Amino acid sequence: MPMTDMLLTLVSAALINNFVLQMPLAVDPMLAAHSRSRVHALGIATTVLMAVSSMLGYLLDHYLLQPLAMTALRLFVFLPLTALLIRPVLGLLTRLRPTLPTEGLWPLLLGNAGVLGVVLLGIEDDKGLAHMAALSLGAGLGFWLVLSLFSDLRQRIADNDIPLPFRGLPVELISAGLMAVAFLGFNAMIKA
């Protein structure tokens, strides 16, 4: 796979086909992370989990499920795979960055449908391991970007006078919708 295709896949997964805003697969962790350091810990952990689980998922599918004609079992193989990888990823993150708060991230990673979605969508394309690596890395970085932007937006909203019926989750969902519209501007960035 040429380097330009990998770069376009990475940018496309991060900005244009964002897993949080364009395909709302990971909205729940975005709404749950509040503190700035927790946002970065969740972003890093999700990016690493997406990359590792998608690479292992691709290898399992390519060398085990497809030769045995068991591709109908992909979901039943990939879901436990991603769940089993959460603890080692959090352990690695704790060893490499001990200052990041990783406690309480396990349920957010387990409930993140974007992790499973990137594995299933990448295998559906079946463009090779390099494409899967670029797709998963781009999806993880896009998730981290949206998480960081939404955290900043949440801090700005907290200081404003918002009508009582819109406080809390309603204004956060409206803000997420406006961010999705803003990310639509990246669609014109890459022409086919």
pLDDT tens for each residue of 140-171: 999 899 888 888 888 888 778 888 888 888 88
Amino acid 31: pLDDT: 67
Q: pLDDT tens digit string along 33-42?
A: 666 778 888 8
The pLDDT score that the predictor gives to residue 151 is 85
pLDDT at position 28, please? Answer: 67
Reading the block at residue 66, the tokens are: 């497809």
Which residues of the chain have a pLDDT value below 50?
A: 192
pTM: 0.86
The answer to whether 78 touches 120, Cβ cutoff 8 Å, is yes
Which residue in 93, 89, 110, 109 sits closest to 101, CA to CA?
A: 93
Q: Tokens 């603890």 correspond to what residue?
A: 87
pLDDT for res 110: 84
Q: Is the dihedral of CA 150, 157, 33, 178 positive or negative?
A: negative
Angstrom distance (rounded) from CA 1 to CA 176: 34
Burial class (CB in 10 A: 0-12, 13-18, 19+), 28: middle
In angstroms, rounded to a whole number, what is the distance separating the alpha carbons of residues 187 and 123?
23
Helix, strand, coil percentages, rounded to 5, for the chain: 75, 0, 25
